[in-house]
């Protein structure tokens, strides 16, 4: 069935991600590993190119795992009994996941191994002076945790309802980052007003209830606050 509009397209795409996280054990492992790697990157003196390569490796593993899940579901629909060719299709798809995972491990080895001992302390100092990296990681971690929580909640459209509210989580994550980064009252108040207006629109549109919105806001606030408390000092 074709999507009626852009929102339906996003809903269906996010539903696919949530289904993979909910049903696939390997996908759960990949999510945890991705969050751990992104947080570890805060300690390391990664260049922009290195950080992009790490993100590409993570994305490649996710893409291959989700394609593998889709292929398995399609084969199960077409062939409901054991068939040698069906096994080949599933094995080849699983092989793609294996190759992408090996690629990610090689990337992690070459980028992180030499930095673990020699640049851990200097990397920590560098991160304390670069809040933009902390903000980016905080947003990614917030989105991942929201998707994980939605994966275990009974929702039909991820962008319309469910606990926690992703919009509230992301908006309050950004507001918290701006407040801690700029330490400017005017910027903080303006960002807070925009976040509250977003929450009000979701509430008036009956997309979320108050509990879902508050849960999302608190989640975004706490994740960002935690990362800034650990990694950032205003020097």
> pLDDT tens, 154-169?
555 555 566 778 888 8
Model pTM score:
0.53
Q: What is the DSSP string of 171-225?
A: HHHHHHHHHHHH--HHHHHHHHHHHHHHHHHHHHTTSS-HHHHHHHHHHHHHHHH
Which of 187, 190, 148, 194 lies closest to 167, judged by CA?
194
Mean pLDDT value of segment 194-209 = 78
Give the whole-angstrom CA distance, residue 58 versus residue 33.
9
Sorting pLDDT into bands at 50, 70 and 90, what band is 93?
confident
* 3-class secondary-structure state, position 162: coil
Find the catalytic residue in 24, 50, 65, 212: 65
Average pLDDT across the chain, whole number: 78
Sorting pLDDT into bands at 50, 70 and 90, what band is 179?
confident
CB atoms within 10 A of CB 217: 25
Helices (H), the chain: 6-23, 25-40, 48-78, 84-118, 120-128, 131-151, 166-182, 185-204, 210-231
For residues 153, 158, 160, 165, the Cα torsion angle rounded to the nearest 10 degrees is 70
Q: How high is the pLDDT of residue 60? A: 92
- Phi, psi for residue 90 in degrees, rounded to 5: -65, -40
Place of tokens 């996280």: 21
Asked about 65 being catalytic, the answer comes back as: yes
Higher pLDDT, 204 or 140: 140
pLDDT score of 27 more than 50: yes
Percent of the chain past pLDDT 90, that is, above it, reads 2
> pLDDT tens, 103-126?
988 888 888 776 665 555 555 555
Q: How high is the pLDDT of residue 235? A: 43
Sorting pLDDT into bands at 50, 70 and 90, what band is 42?
confident
Which of 214, 198, 225 lies closest to 142, judged by CA?
225
Mean pLDDT is lowest, of 25-29, 126-130, 177-181, for 126-130
């Amino acid at each position: 069935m074709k999507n009626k509009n852009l929102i339906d397209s996003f809903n269906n795409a996010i539903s696919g991600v949530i289904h993979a996280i909910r049903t696939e054990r390997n996908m759960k492992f990949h999510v945890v590993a991705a969050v751990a790697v992104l947080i570890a990157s805060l300690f390391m003196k990664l260049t922009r190119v290195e950080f992009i390569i790490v993100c590409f490796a993570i994305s490649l593993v996710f893409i291959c795992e989700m394609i593998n899940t889709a292929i398995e579901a399609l084969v199960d629909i077409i062939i409901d009994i054991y068939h040698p060719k069906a096994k080949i299709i599933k094995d080849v798809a699983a092989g793609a996941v294996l190759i992408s995972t090996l690629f990610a491990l090689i990337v992690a080895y070459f980028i992180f191994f030499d930095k673990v001992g020699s640049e851990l302390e200097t990397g920590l100092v560098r991160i304390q002076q670069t809040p933009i990296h902390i903000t980016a990681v905080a947003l990614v971690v917030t989105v991942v945790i929201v998707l994980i929580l939605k994966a275990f909640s009974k929702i039909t459209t991820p962008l319309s309802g469910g606990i926690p509210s992703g919009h509230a989580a992301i908006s309050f994550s950004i507001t918290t980052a701006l407040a801690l980064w700029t330490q400017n009252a005017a910027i903080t108040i303006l960002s807070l007003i925009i976040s509250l207006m977003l929450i009000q629109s979701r509430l008036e549109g009956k997309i979320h209830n108050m509990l879902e919105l508050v849960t999302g806001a608190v989640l975004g606030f706490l994740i960002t606050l935690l990362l800034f408390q650990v990694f950032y000092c205003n020097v």
